[in-house]
Amino acid sequence: RALLDAYRQQGKRSDLVTATCGEIHHKLKARERVACFFGVGVNDVRQTVRLTYLIQPLLNAVDERKLNMMCGVAISYYDEGTQKLFQKRLNTENHRISVAMMKQIKKICPPPSIPSEELNKVWKQALTTSAERKKDNISFSRKRFEPYLHRIPPDINIEDLFLEFLQNRFADGEQP
């Protein structure tokens, strides 16, 4: 963030009161320069800089991978008081907040702030929706399938391949 700010200030006239039309272009160039310096994408720079707006406990949670980076970015748009409410909820709950859950919270209660009772209500609603989605989904550990994934052509849908396997395996009504 400091490097990005330094690049943005470079060559900027301080005697002008209003912004010039070149200011937007200048900011984009600065972000691109920082991305090139660190060898990352421009979007990665934007997200990482946005994380600096998180309160320290939430930033630590992102660093420790207890909080998804995209969720951290979404929470960073809320004010400090609301971020403390998120921190409190994350500390008292025994699970991680998903991106889908965060999208739902953000849609119902957009930034910059959420009252405590409203967050509690939306949080419970998002948890219920998330639990319903999980009931309908089947998931597998990628580690166990890793040795075989390189053999599957990129144009083949793994879900369709697995369904075909199940249909062939249980076509005659045989039991496992």
Domain coordinates of the chain in residue numbers?
Answer: 1-52, 56-140
Residue 39: which residues within 8 A CB-CB, separation 6 or more? Answer: none
pLDDT score of 173 more than 70: no
C-alpha to C-alpha distance for 154 and 60, rounded to whole angstroms: 37
Is pLDDT of 19 > 80? no
d(CA 103, CA 164) in angstroms, rounded, equals 33
Query: pTM for this structure?
Result: 0.57
CA distance 70 to 102: 9
129-136 mean pLDDT: 68
Residue 32 has pLDDT above 70, yes or no: yes
Number of DSSP helices (H) and strands (E) in the chain, helices first: 10, 0
pLDDT of residue 118: 85
Q: Nearest Cα to 139, choosing from 154, 120, 158?
A: 158
> Would you say residue 15 has pLDDT above 70?
no
Query: What are the tens digits of pLDDT across the range 144-156?
Result: 888 887 888 777 7
- The per-residue pLDDT for 28 is 59
